Chain A
Amino acid sequence: MLILRGLPCEVALHRGLLWHSWLKNQVLKMDSGYVVQMHRRPSLKEERESFERKIQAGGEFESNLTNARKLVGNMVHGFSPTQLIESGSFATLSAEAHEVIKSVIHKEYLRQTRIEEYVEPASDAINELEDAYKEFAIAWYQKPPVSDKVIQQCFELLQCRARKLHELLGRLPEGIVLP
């Protein structure tokens, strides 16, 4: 199968943002020891504030979870080459011929990519990541503050769950697939 890199593909764009900008750069690359320092040391106030803007309720982390769910909901059709069949070249084709091409090509795309098999694991991974995020956020804002060890453990669990989702998103195509 061919990946049509360079052709507009909304789900590929979202996959890239979630996989690279969010999970890799904002979660997996972060050192858990540094997270503990941010939580504890007043001298890191600015870094802490910036971090909290991401993890607060309604913040970037939550909106990325929502975007990840949208991606999983749209990905089977989003990477499908059937969208190419809507283009101008086939304008003269009858509705029946259109449907035949779409149906055969989509089936073959599903067979080759097995993309439907990723939907459930990816949804589960998002749910698990959300649980870990909530647990971490509770620990982070708890008064009186929890111990360094609790913060570190919660963040490492968050990273572990993020790694799982990162691996799953990494297996998705990087553009529309041509079977």
Chain B
Amino acid sequence: MRIYGEIDDRLNHVVSFDLADPEDNYLLVVHPNDTDEWIEQELSERLQDEHCRGVLLVKGVPRAGLADEDFLRLKKQYGDRFHVSACSVGSLRENTRLTGDLEFRFKKFFQYVRNSVDKIDWRILDPQWPDKLFSAYLLAKVMSMDIHGAEVLEQQAASWESVWEDAKKEHMLLTGVTLKHTQLNIKTAKDIASQLKKYLESVALRVS
């Protein structure tokens, strides 16, 4: 499958966009200036082309600024040929620019699309459940519930510090807001577990 881009240079280091070929199936990656307007004016028309096997919207805000209910409604309306990146992908000058785990996921996704013929599995790009947030939630939950567990984990903070840093970043990219606390410790654990749980509950609603 080919990959076409109507987007600036924010994905340049994870994909090379192709020139149009009317005979081949393709994925269209778009950075809409106004998401609602683009969806209203362009989406349906773009998907009328049977070679267009998927439209992916990417923006510097989570879900390109679409509310959960709008995203679900559009998924229902357009099926598996439509997707919006769950995470923000900012331009190269912004702190939400592609890095780390998300960069790797985008790379893997585009490689997968190149080798696909027809259907696109968006779960490669956006796993249903955010792995890093899970891990941070489990850490926070243990620290907030069990004194012995909290002490053991605090003593070994260096061994999970990267998990916590990744989770903070993942939360920012998925929700557009930072976690209430920058440090995870006995004092902040309860608050953090509660904030992460709230987000995971919203994921559960989408998945069901």
Chain A positions near chain B (C-beta within 8 angstroms): 2-7, 81, 84-85, 87-90, 92-94, 96-97, 100-101, 103-105, 108, 178-179
- The smallest beta-carbon distance between A61 and chain B, in angstroms, is 32
List of B residues within 8 angstroms of A94 by Cβ: 156, 159
Confirm or deny: B59 has a beta carbon within 8 angstroms of a beta carbon on chain A: no
Does B80 count as interface, using CB distance less than 8 angstroms?
A: no
Q: Which DSSP category, helix, strand, loop or mixed, fits chain B's interface?
A: helix
Q: Are B138 and A81 in contact (CB under 8 A)?
A: yes
Contact A178 to B137, CB < 8 A, known contacts A4-B204, A5-B207, A97-B156? yes
Mark B residues whose CB is within 8 Å of A. Answer: 128-129, 131-132, 134-135, 137-139, 141-142, 145-146, 148-149, 152-153, 156, 159-160, 162-163, 166, 197, 200-201, 204, 207-208
Residues on B with C-beta less than 8 A from A89 are 131-132, 134-135, 163, 166
Measured CB to CB, the closest approach of chain A to B75, in angstroms, equals 14
Residue from B128, B134, B142 within 8 A of A6 (CB atoms): B128
- A100: chain B residues at CB < 8 Å are 142, 146, 148-149, 152-153
Docked-complex contact A92 and B128, CB < 8 angstroms: no
Q: Which B-chain residue is minimally distant from A105 (CB atoms)?
A: B138
CB pair A85–B197 under 8 Å, yes or no, is no
Contact: A7 with B137, CB < 8 Å?
no
| Max chain A C-beta neighbours (<10 A), residue from B135, B197, B200 | B135
A90 touches B146 (CB 8 A): no
Expressed in whole angstroms, the Cα–Cα distance for A94 and B158 within the complex equals 11
Given A104-B145, A105-B141, does the pair A7, B128 have CB atoms closer than 8 Å? yes
Contacts A92-B162, A94-B156, A94-B159; A7 near B149 (Cβ below 8 A): no
What chain B residues lie within 8 Å of A6 (beta carbons)?
128-129, 207
- Choose one: B141, B149, B156, B166; the contact of A93 (CB below 8 Å): B156
Measured CA separation A81–B141 after assembly (Å): 12
